[in-house]
């Protein structure tokens, strides 16, 4: 038996720590899901979209990004709140509260949006290696196999940390932003005064910007990670910090990508046709290494996305329909989960291999798909979060509802305008 | 002869109800079965709600006793009575007509919900419910949890037929007998619904219960764990994956956790405490029974993954002067469990480990011989600070069932038994690969 003296030491060590660090311990144990999810915002599609926004329209869309940031914070908080209060995943809640058919609709929406996003992640990997002259028909099949093997064998966990670190390369856009010396008064004016153009290109890019910032899959992913962490309504205060800080951070990076490209590419009329074009905005900071820095960041972020998206899609669909999920089980025990994961990965990898397709356009298109489909998921979330039986005192307040409804109506409105424009060619100013 | 030999709830719910003169009452929106009296619950009533394409708000509904249902023709259920002889209509928000407490609403409590399959010991989601006519009454016989039921609910029955007749595909019809269905139903306050019997679930082995708990939702998990007998609950808790355990402990009240910890052996309690946040662990340690708290603290002194952390502190040690006869008499009196009696340990006055004695040695020895002469000296032992790899290697190398654990001065402090600590010794990397 141990002696009493050493016991006292053990307890003493804990209790002295408690007073100074207890609060921090609680915060650290809660923080994470929001930050990680928001960080995934700046994936291949995200960076390409923001860079295109800056290069094509200068500072004009910055006000939009600021509005989108507000809805992002509100919507992410809503997803996290649903998770902490109900202790269930989003797919699960949709199935239990609305039944099979609405769950099928929600899952179909998620599947289509995530297939597009997976394709955009593979396009991102291909585009980043094209900067070094590696052909896409080598990159994509090879990376599809690497992603599949690393996930199925479990070695993904180790890779994840490395790639997460590398994907921080995009932070250099912030440094670049100060070195470039953009016209801050102009930036500020565009941040406050909305400018809008009724042409197809502007509208599509705007929807894409919304769709890449607030994606359907993030809602499922965030809620699942909150539930997995075992967070409860008591942790809500900290969860809110986590989600808010995460959203602000990710959109700060997005803001600087737009500002940098607007300051460097827009005045010279340089369009983003290849991923490498977006790297030019980093030159003031990284000089000749700009493209290397950009390519590695893009590659890492895309790799993470290419693994997480098929996984979280397969997970949500299995959750909704009660298929065995492979949490710790062998693949043999969860065949449907396995095939869902494999086919989403496979189809996602095949799309960017379509001959002569523009990788940048594919990435932008994927964000539009996400934007168009987002309202479906948001409406489900709204119904759930305003359900008193489920949420008790934690239902949405009127301002939250207003913001989410405004987001939904804005996307629906833009979608209708785009549809009308494609049927009545004269309605919107065409193309570029 | 009844109305229909067998039918799925999803089909019954789609029917339009008409009375004996062909007047429409509305559609079936709920099916009630009567629990309790019989093993397979009979259908007792339908809830029929007026339907309208235009108006989606609250619509009047009424209860139709199943005995009034006469025949099922295509989309229609026709009644043997007139609309006037049925119980009166209720319109929300006026409360629905009271329903006896043993009536189970099939759609609300089973459809799309998770249930435990007591036979297959897994958690599944209900896609459909199957009724079969037995002895003139339609009874709930099984719940459908397979792909077929799912497609039927989606209205894709023709697709299933097509796939089966043209491609010879055979979709499994995964049914779970009603007798093997365990509902997990929560009330508003997060407690388990009292109307549901849980005896069979409570009789499962802790390891099986642990698998089931892991598959349930967080709230159901916690509620179920809370409803189990504390000893069973505690044992189950030690079998659950660390992530799921963390979630459950976070949602239980400190008093509850304390009660569970106190019915555990010190090594299991220490394992659970070490996963908790430091402030919670300290509070719980302080509130524990002083003697048990002391033992747990002693174990927590050792670094993680060392023998001292997971060793068991209940073991059989005897002084070397004790005779074989006295030892056997003591064992008879103490009746130690099997895993504590693989080997008996011989110690001196200062608890230094001197040797081991097996039960066989003890039985064949002359009654008056002291243990000091029977024992095998120089026993194989591990240091409390040795890691689990060393423990495994020693057990394998010397073909032992248990190893004594000694401190730096050679004093016996615990025992690691293969049968009890296999988990800790050979634990693989058990984290889910899909988690980030």
Whole-angstrom distance, CA of residue A48 vs CA of residue A398: 35
Mean pLDDT of chain B: 81
**Closest B-chain CA to A341:** B434
A-chain CB neighbours of B286 within 8 Å are 11
Portion 102-121 of B in contact with A at CB < 8 A:
111-114
Residues of chain B neighbouring A154 (CB-CB closer than 8 A): 429, 433
Task: Band the pLDDT of B195: cuts 50, 70, 90.
Answer: low
- CB pair distance less than 8 Å for B436 and A17: no
pLDDT at B190: 65
Quote the pLDDT of residue A430: 53
pLDDT tens for B341-398 read: 778 888 888 888 888 888 888 888 898 888 888 888 888 888 888 888 888 888 888 8
The whole-angstrom distance between residue B423's C-alpha and the CA centroid of its chain comes to 19
- Please tell me if residue A138 touches chain B, with a CB cutoff of 8 Å: no
Residue B194 C-alpha, separation from nearest chain A C-alpha, in angstroms: 19
Distance from CA of B429 to the nearest CA of A (A): 10
Q: Are A39 and A246 in contact (CB under 8 A)?
A: yes
Cα B355 to Cα B317: distance, rounded to the nearest angstrom: 10
Give the residue, B166 or B187, on which the prediction is more confident.
Answer: B166
Which residue in the set A2, A231, A328 is minimally distant from B241, CB to CB?
A: A328
Q: Which of A204-213, B166-175, B247-256, B277-286 has the highest mean pLDDT?
A: A204-213
Ranges B166-180, B183-197, B319-333, B405-419: which has the least confidence: B183-197
pLDDT higher than 50, residue B104 = yes
How far B239 CA sits from the closest chain A CA (Å)?
Answer: 14
Closest approach of A7 to chain B, Cα-based (Å): 6
Contact call for B413 and A7, based on CB within 8 A = no
Per-residue pLDDT at A408 exceeds 70: yes
What's the pLDDT tens digit per position in A25-53?
Answer: 555 655 666 777 766 777 888 989 999 99
**Nearest neighbour of A96 by CB, restricted to B112, B243, B436:** B112
Can you read off the two tokens belonging to residue B27?
Answer: 């559609």
Contact B127 A322 (CB under 8 A): yes
Tell which residue, B357, B116, B432, B266, has the closest CA to residue A1. B266
Q: What is the pLDDT of residue A17?
A: 38
A404 to chain B, closest Cα gap in Å: 24
- Looking at chain A, the whole-number percentage of residues with pLDDT higher than 90 is 34
Q: Is A96 on the interface with B (CB under 8 A)?
A: yes
pLDDT at B229 over 90: no
Nearest to A188 by CA among A62, A64, A69: A62
Across residues A150-179, what is the average pLDDT?
Answer: 80
Find chain B residues with C-beta within 8 A of A315's C-beta: 434
pLDDT value of residue A107: 95
pLDDT in tens, B308-317: 888 888 788 8
Q: Are B425 and B395 in contact (CB under 8 A)?
A: yes
Residue range B192-206: average pLDDT? Answer: 76
Q: Do B114 and A322 touch (CB under 8 A)?
A: yes
Q: Does B246 touch chain A (CB under 8 A)?
A: yes
Question: A198 in contact with B at a CB cutoff of 8 Å?
Answer: no
Distance from A226 to chain B by nearest Cα, in Å?
Answer: 11
| Whole-number pLDDT of residue B432 | 39
Predicted local distance difference test score (pLDDT) of residue B51:
67
Query: What is the value of ipTM here, to two decimals?
Result: 0.72
- Which tens digit of pLDDT belongs to each residue from A212-221? 999 999 999 9
Structure tokens at B269: 């309690």
Mean pLDDT of B172-193: 78
**pLDDT above 80 for A320:** yes
Instruction: Name which of A18, A152, A228 is nearest B435 (Cβ-Cβ).
Output: A228
Confidence of residue A348 (pLDDT cuts 50, 70, 90): very high
Torsion of CA B379, B384, B385, B388, to 10 degrees: 80
Residues of B in contact with A92 (CB under 8 A): 217
Residue B393: strand, helix, or coil: helix
Distance in Å, alpha carbon of B411 to nearest chain A alpha carbon: 8
| Mean pLDDT on A83-91 | 89
Q: Which residue has the tokens 């025949």?
A: B71
pLDDT tier at A379, thresholds 50, 70, 90: very high
State residue A398's pLDDT score.
92
| B114-150 pLDDT per residue, tens | 888 888 888 888 888 988 888 778 888 889 888 888 8
Give me the sign of the Cα torsion angle B21, B25, B31, B37: negative
Bridge partners (DSSP) of residue B128 are B144
- Determine the average pLDDT of the residues in B188-200: 70
Chain B contact for A128 (CB, 8 A cutoff): no
Q: Which of the four pLDDT bands, split at 50, 70 and 90, describes residue A24?
A: low
Q: What's the pLDDT score for residue B54?
A: 60
Nearest by Cα to A52 from A367, A417, A413: A367
Whether the bond into A365 is cis, omega within 30 of 0:
no
Q: What is the pLDDT of residue B194?
A: 64
Question: Mean pLDDT across chain A, nearest whole number?
Answer: 83
Check B301 against A2: CB less than 8 A apart.
yes
- Pick the closest to residue A106 from A118, A90, A117, A120 (CA basis): A90
Which residues of chain A make contact with B281, given a CB cutoff of 8 A? 14
Size of interface A-B (CB pairs under 8 A): 108
Say what the pLDDT of residue A278 is: 81
CB–CB contact A7 B301 (8 Å): yes
For residues A300 and A170, the answer to whether their CB atoms sit within 8 Å is: no
Q: Which of A7, A161, A312 to mutate to test the interface with B (most CBs of B within 10 A)?
A: A7
List residues bridging with B134 in a β-sheet: B137
pLDDT in tens, A226-257: 887 777 788 888 888 888 988 998 899 999 99
| Among A27, A40, A92, A228, the residue to mutate for chain B (most B Cβ within 10 A) | A228
User: What is the strand order of the sheet B382-383 is part of?
Assistant: B382-383, B402-406, B412-417
CA dist B68 and B82 (Å) reads 10
Task: Flag the least confident range among A113-127, A306-320, B196-210.
Answer: B196-210
Per the model's pLDDT, the better-predicted residue between A278 and A40 turns out to be A278
Say if residue B303's pLDDT is above 90.
no
Under an 8 A CB cutoff, do B246 and A230 touch? yes
Domains of chain B: 6-104 (2.30.30.240), 114-183 (no CATH), 199-307 (1.25.60.10), 317-425 (3.10.580.10)
Chain B contact probe: residue of A322, A325, A329, A383 with most B CBs at under 10 A: A322
- Give the pLDDT band of residue B176 (cuts 50, 70, 90): confident
A190 in contact with B, Cβ within 8 Å: no
Cβ of residue A228 closer than 8 Å to a chain B Cβ: yes
State the average pLDDT over residues A195-203.
Answer: 85
Dist CA B305 CA B321 (whole Å): 36
Question: Which domains does chain A possess?
Answer: 28-423 (1.20.1740.10)
**At a CB cut-off of 8 Å and minimum separation 6, what does A353 contact?**
A136, A137, A140, A141
Is the CB of A158 inside 8 Å of chain B's CB atoms?
no
DSSP B114: E
Cβ B278–A6 below 8 Å, yes or no? no
A35 CA to chain B: closest CA distance, Å? 12
Report how far residue A387's alpha carbon sits from residue B191's, in angstroms, rounded to the nearest whole number. 20
- Please tell me if residue A151 touches chain B, with a CB cutoff of 8 Å: yes
- In our burial notation (b when 16+ CB lie closer than 10 A, e otherwise), range B165-204 reads eeeeeeeeebbbebebbbbbbeeeeeebeeeeebeebeeb
Which of the 8 DSSP states describes residue A429? B
Query: Would you say the C-alpha torsion A348, A353, A355, A357 has a positive or negative sign?
Result: positive
Q: Assign 3-state DSSP to chain B and report helix, strand, coil percentages, each to 5.
A: 40, 25, 35
Round to the nearest angstrom and report the end-to-end CA distance of chain B: 59
Q: Which of residues 370-429 of A touch B (CB under 8 A)?
A: 389
Q: Does A88 touch chain B (CB under 8 A)?
A: yes
Closest in A7, A156, A230 to B298, CB measured: A7
């Amino acid at each position: 038996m141990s002696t009493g003296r050493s016991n006292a030491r053990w307890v003493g060590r804990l209790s002295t720590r408690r007073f100074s660090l207890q609060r921090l311990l609680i915060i650290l144990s809660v923080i994470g899901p929001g930050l990680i999810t928001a960080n995934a915002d700046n994936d291949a599609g995200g960076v390409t979209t923001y860079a295109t926004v800056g290069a094509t329209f200068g500072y004009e869309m910055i006000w939009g990004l600021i509005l989108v940031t507000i809805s992002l914070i509100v919507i992410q908080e809503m997803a996290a709140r649903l998770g902490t209060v109900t202790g269930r995943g989003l797919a699960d809640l949709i199935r239990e509260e609305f039944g099979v058919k609405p769950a099928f609709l929600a899952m179909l929406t998620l599947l289509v949006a995530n297939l597009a996003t997976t394709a955009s992640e593979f396009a991102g990997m291909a585009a980043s290696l094209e900067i070094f002259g590696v052909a896409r028909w080598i990159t994509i099949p090879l990376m599809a196999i690497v992603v599949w093997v690393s996930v199925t064998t479990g070695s993904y966990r180790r890779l994840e940390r490395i790639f997460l670190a590398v994907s921080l390369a995009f932070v250099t856009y912030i440094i670049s932003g100060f070195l470039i010396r953009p016209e801050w008064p102009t930036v500020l004016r565009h941040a406050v005064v909305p400018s809008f153009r009724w042409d197809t290109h502007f509208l599509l890019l705007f929807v894409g910007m919304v769709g890449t910032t607030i994606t359907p899959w993030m809602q499922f992913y965030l809620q699942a990670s909150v539930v997995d962490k075992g967070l409860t309504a008591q942790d809500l205060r900290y969860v809110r910090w986590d989600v808010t800080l995460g959203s602000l951070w990710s959109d700060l990076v997005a803001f600087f990508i737009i500002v940098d490209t607007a300051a460097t590419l827009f005045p010279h009329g340089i369009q983003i046709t290849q991923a490498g074009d977006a790297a030019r905005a980093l030159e003031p900071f990284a000089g000749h290494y700009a493209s290397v820095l950009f390519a590695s960041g893009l590659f890492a972020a895309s790799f993470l996305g290419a693994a997480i998206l098929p996984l979280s899609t397969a997970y949500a669909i299995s959750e909704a329909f009660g298929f065995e999920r492979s949490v710790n089980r062998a693949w043999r025990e969860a065949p449907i989960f396995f095939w869902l994961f494999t086919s989403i990965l496979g189809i996602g990898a095949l799309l960017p291999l379509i001959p002569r397709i523009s990788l940048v356009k594919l990435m932008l298109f994927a964000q539009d798909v996400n934007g168009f489909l987002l309202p479906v998921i948001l409406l489900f979330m709204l119904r759930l979060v305003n359900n008193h039986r489920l949420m008790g005192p934690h239902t949405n307040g009127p301002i939250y509802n207003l913001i989410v409804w405004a987001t939904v109506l804005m996307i629906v409105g833009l979608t209708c305008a785009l549809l009308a424009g494609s049927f009545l060619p004269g309605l919107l100013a065409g193309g570029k | 002869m009844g109305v229909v030999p067998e039918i799925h709830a999803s089909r019954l719910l789609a029917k339009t109800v008409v009375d004996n003169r062909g007047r429409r009452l509305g559609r079936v929106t709920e099916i009630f079965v009567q629990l309790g009296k019989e093993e397979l619950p009979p259908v007792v009533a339908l809830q029929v709600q007026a339907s309208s394409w235009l108006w989606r708000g609250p619509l009047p509904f009424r209860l139709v006793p199943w005995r009034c249902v006469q025949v099922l023709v295509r989309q229609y259920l026709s009644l043997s009575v007139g609309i006037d002889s049925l119980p009166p209509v209720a319109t929300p928000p006026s409360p629905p007509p009271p329903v006896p407490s043993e009536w189970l609403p099939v759609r609300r409590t089973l459809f799309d919900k998770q249930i435990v399959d007591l036979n297959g010991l897994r958690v599944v989601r209900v896609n459909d419910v199957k009724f079969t006519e037995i002895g003139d009454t339609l009874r709930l016989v099984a719940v459908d949890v397979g792909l077929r039921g799912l497609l039927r609910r989606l209205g894709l029955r023709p697709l299933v037929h097509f796939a089966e007749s043209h491609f010879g595909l055979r979709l499994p019809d995964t049914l779970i007998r009603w007798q093997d269905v365990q509902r997990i139903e929560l009330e508003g306050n997060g407690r388990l619904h009292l109307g549901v019997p849980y005896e069979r679930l409570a009789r499962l082995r802790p390891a099986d219960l642990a698998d089931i708990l892991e598959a349930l939702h967080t709230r159901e998990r916690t509620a179920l764990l809370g409803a189990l007998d504390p000893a069973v609950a505690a044992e189950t808790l030690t079998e659950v994956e660390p992530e799921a355990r963390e979630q459950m402990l976070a949602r239980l009240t400190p008093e509850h956790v304390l009660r569970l910890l106190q019915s555990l052996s010190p090594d299991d309690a220490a394992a659970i405490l070490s996963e908790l946040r430091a402030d919670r662990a300290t509070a719980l340690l302080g509130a524990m029974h002083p003697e048990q708290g002391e033992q747990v603290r002693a174990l927590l002194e050792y670094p993680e993954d060392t023998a001292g952390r997971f060793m068991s502190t209940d073991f059989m040690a005897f002084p070397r002067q004790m005779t074989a006869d006295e030892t056997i008499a003591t064992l008879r009196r103490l009746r130690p469990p099997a895993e504590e009696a693989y080997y008996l340990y011989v110690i001196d006055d200062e608890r230094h480990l001197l040797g081991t004695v097996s039960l066989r040695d003890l039985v064949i020895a002359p009654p008056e011989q002291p243990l000091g002469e029977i024992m095998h000296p120089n026993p194989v032992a591990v240091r409390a600070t040795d890691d689990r790899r060393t423990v495994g290697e020693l057990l394998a190398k010397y073909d032992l069932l248990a190893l004594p654990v000694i401190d730096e001065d050679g004093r016996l402090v615990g025992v690691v038994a293969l049968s009890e600590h296999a988990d800790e010794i050979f634990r693989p990397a058990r984290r889910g690969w899909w988690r980030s």
